[in-house]
């Protein structure tokens, strides 16, 4: 007989044995045999009971999972409780990829995004304006009012139009955000509607490398103009502000500049002597400019220098501007003769009033049909030229014209083709103008006509100081 001696128990954790493995063999020790009852032989035909431990493998070695509890059989057998079949998961990553691409295209450059936020903090709507109502930064800033982004996918701001552009709409107020705008390095167009925006135009904004259009008219901007501007500028409109100092010479050197409007400011000094910009439109009126007029480019079609302190003769300059369609030199101290070539140009508006022009008018051609010719309040003398008969409005009052009015001019007034003919405060001795249409205005006060023509009733309230000049002033006036 053998007695079984078990090894000493240890504190080690019991190991799990894989399926089919056996624990280590037990140590056997020979002992005295003890009597045992005889074993009953098991019948050969009776299999082991299915629930006996010897008939079942350990739970970890079973080939099939155990049956579920009886209280869950009904639930698990329900058709809705069965898991759905697996589907391909390729659609979700593809959808996320498309959404990410769309978000990347609609995302504004972070520098421009922060710049627009700074613009919004600096400016506000005047009462009645709702321009900033659409500036909700939870949405795409490229959809804001006045904001245009580049179409090439770089998502940079290329145009910024601040304020409601509709006529009569209130503008904006606050300090001009120069520091923020200067961060928009791709900006090609910058405009600001008339309002109450204050501050200065910084050199960084004026010299933005991509800038082509700059219009900040009708606000309260002040200070000197920057010394340098973007080389690609085509239009600059800084009118109706409070800018001071001189006109920067560099501004008139820009190779692409077509339109320059600096009117209604407080600019002083002389106009720069060198003008290389191919200007088509130049407006410097209502400033404090002095000195003469430098040579100007022959591309000019619009020239306004009115309301300054300019002086000297301009005949040589004006003769080189054959494309002029609008000329306003009024309210200056210009002198000398009016060049006859001006009347042959296709000028629709010729304004030379309140200067010191003298001498006779000698047009080299007829005035453009329907044009306005205002030569009032000068020292012009001689006869009224018949070439003015094709004009739509003629102002010759406040000069020294003498003699008779040409029949061509009188006929144009009688027929209504000339809607305005102001001849008051001259030395005319014959005005053969009959009845004129109600739409026309003919005035001949304070001349040497006796009696004055009946059409003097058409004169404005300030048409003249009296009906007729004294005879002593008309002696020898025959034109």
pLDDT given for residue 49 in this prediction: 47
Q: Which residue has the tokens 């089919």?
A: 20
Outline where DSSP puts E strands in 284-371: 288-291, 302-304, 309-312, 326-328, 333-336, 349-351, 356-360
Q: Is 464 helix (H, G, I), strand (E, B) or coil?
A: coil
pLDDT given for residue 53 in this prediction: 46
pLDDT given for residue 296 in this prediction: 98
Cα–Cα–Cα angle for 428, 331, 343, rounded to 5 degrees: 60
Cα-only R_g, the chain: 49
pLDDT given for residue 471 in this prediction: 84
Give the predicted TM-score (pTM) of the model: 0.76
pLDDT given for residue 411 in this prediction: 93
CATH placement of domain 108-199? 3.80.10.10
Architecture of domain 212-325: Alpha-Beta Horseshoe (3.80)
pLDDT given for residue 202 in this prediction: 97
Please state, in angstroms and as integers, the Cα–Cα distance from residue 321 to each residue in 14, 61, 302, 450, following that order.
111, 108, 10, 42
pLDDT given for residue 91 in this prediction: 57
Query: Among the residues of 123-184, which ranges form H helices?
Result: 178-181
Give the C-alpha separation, 393 to 306, whole Å: 19
Q: Which two tokens stand for residue 338?
A: 């009016």
**pLDDT tens across the length of the chain (479 residues):** 445 554 555 555 555 555 555 555 544 445 455 555 555 555 555 454 444 444 455 544 455 555 555 444 444 445 455 555 555 555 555 555 444 434 434 578 999 999 999 999 999 999 999 999 999 999 999 999 999 999 876 789 999 999 998 888 899 999 999 999 999 999 999 999 999 999 999 999 999 999 999 999 999 999 999 999 999 999 999 999 999 999 999 999 999 999 999 999 999 999 999 999 999 999 999 999 999 999 999 999 999 999 999 999 999 999 999 999 999 999 999 999 999 999 999 999 999 999 999 999 999 999 999 999 999 999 999 999 999 999 999 999 999 999 999 999 999 999 999 999 999 999 999 888 777 888 888 888 889 986 666 555 557 665 555 678 888 888 755 54
Give the C-alpha separation, 162 to 190, whole Å: 8
Q: Which of 201, 236, 199 is nearest to 123 (CA)?
A: 199
pLDDT given for residue 101 in this prediction: 39
Give the C-alpha separation, 285 to 331, whole Å: 10
């Amino acid at each position: 007989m053998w007695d079984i001696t078990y090894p000493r128990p240890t504190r080690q954790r019991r190991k799990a044995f894989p399926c089919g493995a056996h624990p280590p063999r037990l140590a056997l020790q020979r002992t005295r045999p003890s009597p045992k009852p005889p074993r009953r032989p098991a019948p050969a035909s009776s299999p082991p009971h299915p629930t006996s431990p010897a008939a079942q493998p350990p739970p970890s070695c079973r080939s099939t999972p155990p049956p579920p509890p009886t209280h869950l059989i009904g639930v698990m057998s329900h058709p809705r409780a069965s898991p759905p079949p697996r589907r391909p998961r390729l659609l979700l990553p593809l959808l996320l990829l498309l959404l990410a691409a769309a978000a990347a295209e609609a995302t504004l450059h972070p520098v421009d995004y922060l710049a627009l936020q700074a613009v919004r903090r600096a400016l506000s709507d005047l009462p009645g304006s709702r321009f900033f109502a659409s500036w909700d930064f939870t949405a795409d800033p490229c959809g804001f009012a006045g904001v245009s982004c580049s179409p090439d996918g770089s998502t940079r701001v290329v145009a910024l139009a601040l304020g409601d552009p509709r006529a009569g709409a209130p503008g904006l107020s606050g300090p001009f955000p120069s520091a923020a705008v200067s961060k928009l390095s791709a900006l090609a167009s910058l405009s600001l509607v008339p309002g109450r925006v204050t501050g200065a135009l910084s050199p960084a904004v004026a010299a933005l490398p991509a800038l082509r259009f700059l219009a900040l008219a009708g606000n309260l901007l002040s200070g000197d103009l920057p010394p340098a501007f973007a080389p690609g500028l085509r239009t600059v409109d800084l009118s109706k502000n409070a800018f001071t100092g001189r006109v920067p010479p560099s501004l008139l050197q820009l190779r692409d500049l077509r339109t320059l409007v600096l009117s209604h400011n407080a600019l002083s000094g002389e106009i720069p002597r060198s003008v290389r910009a191919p200007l088509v439109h130049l407006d410097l009126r209502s400033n404090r400019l002095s000195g003469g007029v430098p040579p100007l480019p022959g591309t000019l079609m619009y020239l306004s220098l009115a309301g300054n302190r300019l002086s000297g003769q301009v005949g040589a300059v004006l003769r080189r501007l054959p494309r002029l369609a609008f000329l306003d030199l009024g309210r200056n101290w210009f002198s000398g003769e009016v060049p006859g070539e001006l009347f042959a140009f296709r000028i629709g508006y010729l304004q030379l009033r309140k200067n010191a022009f003298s001498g006779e008018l000698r047009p080299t051609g007829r005035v453009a049909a329907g044009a306005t010719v205002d030569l009032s309040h000068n020292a012009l003398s001689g006869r009224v030229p018949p070439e003015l008969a094709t004009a739509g409005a003629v102002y010759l009052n406040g000069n020294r014209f003498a003699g008779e009015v040409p029949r061509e001019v009188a006929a144009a007034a009688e027929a209504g083709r000339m809607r305005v003919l102001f001849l008051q405060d001259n030395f005319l001795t014959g005005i053969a103008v009959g009845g004129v249409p109600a739409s026309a205005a003919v005035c001949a006060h304070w001349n040497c006509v006796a009696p004055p023509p009946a059409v003097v009733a058409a004169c404005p309230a300030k048409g003249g100081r009296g009906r007729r000049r004294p005879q002593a002033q008309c002696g020898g006036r025959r034109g």
